[in-house]
Amino acid sequence: MRNKKISYMIRHGIVYLVVILGAITFLIPLAWMFVTSLKIPAQIHVYPPEWIPNPIAWENYLQILTFFPFFRYLLNTLYITSLNVIGVLVSCSLVAYGITHIQWPGRNVIFTLVISVLIVPYAVTLIPLYLMYHRLGWIGSYKPLWVASFFGVWTFHTFLLRQFFLAIPQELSNAAKIDGCSEFRIYWNIVLPLARPALFAVALFEFLWTWNDFLMPLVYLTNQKMYTLSLGLAFFQGTHDTAVNLLMAASSLVTIPVLILFFFAQRSFIEGITLTGLKG
Amino acid sequence: MNFKISKLRMANTRNGLLFVSPFLIGFGIFYLYPFIASFYYSFTSYSLVGESQWIGVLNYKELFIEDDLFTTSLYNTLYYATLFVPLSLVVGLMIALLLNTNIKGKSGLRAIYFLPSIIPLAASGILWVWILNSRYGIINETLRALRLPAPRWFSDPNWSKPGYVIMSVWASGQTMIILLAGLTGVPRQLYEVAELDGANWLHKIVYITLPLLTPAILFILIISVIGSFQMFTQAYIMTDGAPANSTLFYNLYLYRVSFRYFKMGYGCAMAWILFVIVFTLAWSLFKSSARWVYYGREEG
């Protein structure tokens, strides 16, 4: 009996050790980024690295703001991101409702389409869409970066919402229908309020994807003043190749908003992924 | 009565169509049309100025017979996917198994392992160029301090792709989350019964945990195969193909062809080859699942 207890404790200890060492390893790159962003050039390549820089060079951040228009890029990114979030919340929730809470012959076909477009590589549609936007005169504007989101084409969200809507009892909407409630009012007044956690997860994912997206801004934006944070950062890297501390300060600035969001909403992130993975 | 039912059915169909109409229109404009158009363009020569010119299978012929960079990019991408897909699965599985024990601070640790996957790729790409810098990078400094050989990573064509794999595994936290969710769905009683039969932890993992995780593993394999074939942002930011085209990945080359040389028809042909590859892989994974994926039944 005692032996068993000791071996249990040893095993438990090993698990702790491995998990914590692993977690530290996963955190080191990010820690290095922040620490390096606060170093003076002479300290950067010191090994072993000083994890608390001395002196702390806050001025690095002031210095990069002179070449890296962070606040402009931040506003640009927020603009595109909020339009996309609104777009997917409206369009994907409508579609998800249409294939879960309404009994009609086409719903399975639509669901099959929703799933199958997920495996189409973006490269396949990229060039014709570019040509289409070119003909519309939209290249160099923000429109190619958000208009599509209002048409429910980012079907990952539709799928996520469908999983959640299916768990909302049909009897609820049927009862409301018997009481003469219109389909739209059931969607708006019953299903959407119940689906708040799923909608929140969708908003988070879309926010993150637009925020981190690189290819679309790269292809469609031509004016440097309209760049997003990610694109601006890559451009900054191309022009300031050697100053590692400044490069890390710029990278930190692009990362920090995402970290803040994650800090407050990590449970929703994780639940959202779980929702799509479990019944996949 | 009959009349009433059919009227209800009509109303439902009309409402259903109304609700899905954004996607119906969107599917036509943003998927169906470009899907067909890119297939058409792949048989043309088109450079944004003037009209597209029908050239038959010439693009495909050039890709497969003359274009060495195409073959290189395909090889690089296959190489990367072959290392990344199994490695991220194994690492994710190990972390998930460790976190599924009754340790304290589980949700904090889970957040730490997940965190790298949400960092903007532009930022983490720049970061990893320096982490894996062959002279000053923290990884090589550590390897040298431990008297271990230090690869030259992104300066060595043989080590540049493994460098990308390491970075991508670091950022594949959602694999772990999906597996962890799968693990919490495994009924405790199964382990208890196995323990009574004298099973040790390895038996339990191999005979209970892994079979019950196979649906989650299938899902992960499909999404990570699709994802790794479409790797672009890191490649563009970190090495842009260098050294010696060893990191010229498929979509990086496709981007160059289409948006630097404006060979739109050629780019479309590349895109369609990619589509066929990705579709075939996803489909065969899905088809193979009947043989290795365990779908538990409630009764029985």
Q: Which residues pair with B44 in a beta bridge?
A: B54
Q: Is A202 helix (H, G, I), strand (E, B) or coil?
A: helix
Residue A155 contacts B where some CB pair is shorter than 8 Å: yes
Task: Check residue A280 and give its pLDDT.
Answer: 41
Model confidence, pTM: 0.92
Q: What does residue B54 show for φ and ψ, rounded to 5 degrees?
A: -70, 125
* pLDDT single digits (tens) A111-133: 999 999 998 999 999 999 999 99
Q: Could you state, in order of their start, the residue ranges of all structural domains in chain A?
A: 2-57, 62-278
Q: What does residue A106 show for φ and ψ, rounded to 5 degrees?
A: -85, -5
Residues ≥6 apart with Cβ < 8 Å to A37: A60, A61, A245, A246, A248, A249, A251, A252
For chain B, give the percent of residues with pLDDT over 70: 97
Q: Give the closest residue to B229 by CA, choosing from A50, A245, A123, A170.
A: A123
Type of residue numbered B208: I
Task: Report in angstroms the alpha-carbon separations of A87 from A73, A83, A154, A206.
Answer: 21, 6, 10, 10
Contact in structure between A124 and B274 (CB atoms under 8 Å): yes
Q: Is B145–A47 a contact, with Cβ atoms under 8 angstroms apart? A: yes
Residue B137 contacts A where some CB pair is shorter than 8 Å: no
Q: Which of residues 94-113 of B touch A (CB under 8 A)?
A: 95, 98-99, 101, 103, 107, 109-113
Q: Which of residues 204-263 of A touch B (CB under 8 A)?
A: 208, 211-212, 214-215, 218-219, 229-231, 233-234, 237, 244, 247-248, 251-252, 254-255, 258-259, 262
Domain A62-278 = CATH 1.10.3720.10: yes
Segment B63-84 shows an average pLDDT of: 97
Q: Is A56 helix (H, G, I), strand (E, B) or coil?
A: coil
Q: Is B33–A128 a contact, with Cβ atoms under 8 angstroms apart? A: yes
Average pLDDT over all residues of chain B: 92
Largest separation between any pair of C-alpha atoms in chain B: 86
At CA A269, angle to CA A264 and CA A274, rounded to 5? 150
Q: Verify cis geometry, omega within 30 degrees of 0, for the bond prior to B243.
A: yes
Segment B197-211 shows an average pLDDT of: 88
Residues ≥6 apart with Cβ < 8 Å to A100: A107, A162, A165, A166
Which two structure tokens, joined as six digits, stand for A17? 């050790």
* Residue A67 CB coordination number (10 Å): 12
Give me the residue from B26, B101, B254 closest to A152, CB to CB: B26
Candidates B19, B129, B178: best to mutate against A (most CBs of A within 10 A) is: B19
**Which pLDDT tens digits describe chain A residue by residue (280 residues)?**
567 788 888 888 899 999 999 999 999 999 999 999 999 988 888 878 888 888 888 999 999 998 899 999 999 999 999 999 999 999 999 999 999 999 899 999 999 999 999 989 999 999 999 999 999 999 999 999 999 999 999 999 999 999 999 988 888 888 888 888 889 999 999 999 999 999 999 999 999 999 999 999 999 999 999 999 999 999 998 886 668 999 999 999 999 999 999 998 888 888 888 777 654 4
3-state secondary structure A58-127: CHHHHHHHHHCCHHHHHHHHHHHHHHHHHHHHHHHHHHHHHCCCCCCCCHHHHHHHHHHHHHCCHHHHHH
Task: Check residue A156 and give its pLDDT.
Answer: 93
Q: Is the ipTM of this complex over 0.95?
A: no
* Rounded Cα distance, B70 and B283, in Å: 24
Residue A60 contacts B where some CB pair is shorter than 8 Å: no
Residue of B nearest to A95 (CA): B20
Q: What is the fold, at CATH topology level, of the domain defined by B64-292?
A: MetI-like fold (1.10.3720)
Q: Which residues of B touch A91 (CB under 8 A)?
A: 22-23, 26
At CA B263, angle to CA B273 and CA B154, rounded to 5? 70
* Rounded Cα distance, B74 and A132, in Å: 28
Residues ≥6 apart with Cβ < 8 Å to B208: B186, B190, B191, B194
| Angle of the A107-116 helix axis to the A70-98 helix axis, nearest 10 | 150
Half-sphere exposure of residue B56, counting CA atoms within 13 Å on the CB side? Answer: 2
Task: Check residue B102 and give its pLDDT.
Answer: 84
3-state secondary structure chain B: CHHHHHHHHHHHHHHHHHHHHHHHHHHHHHHHHHHHHHHHHCCEEEECEEEEEECCCHHHHHHHHHCHHHHHHHHHHHHHHHHHHHHHHHHHHHHHHHHCCCCCCHHHHHHHHHHHHHCCHHHHHHHHHHHCCCCCCHHHHHHHHCCCCCCCHHHCCCCHHHHHHHHHHHCCHHHHHHHHHHHHCCCHHHHHHHHHCCCCHHHHHHHHHHHHHHHHHHHHHHHHHHHHHCCCHHHHHHCCCCCCCCCCCHHHHHHHHHHHCCCHHHHHHHHHHHHHHHHHHHHHHHHHHHHHCCCCCCCC
Which two structure tokens, joined as six digits, stand for B206? 């191999």
Q: Give the closest residue to A144 by CA, choosing from A158, A160, A127, A159.
A: A127
Contact in structure between B139 and B146 (CB atoms under 8 Å): no
Residues in chain B: 300
Answer positive or negative: Cα dihedral of A183, A185, A186, A188: positive
State the pLDDT confidence band at B296, using cuts at 50, 70 and 90: low
Task: Check residue A198 and give its pLDDT.
Answer: 92
State the pLDDT confidence band at B297, using cuts at 50, 70 and 90: low
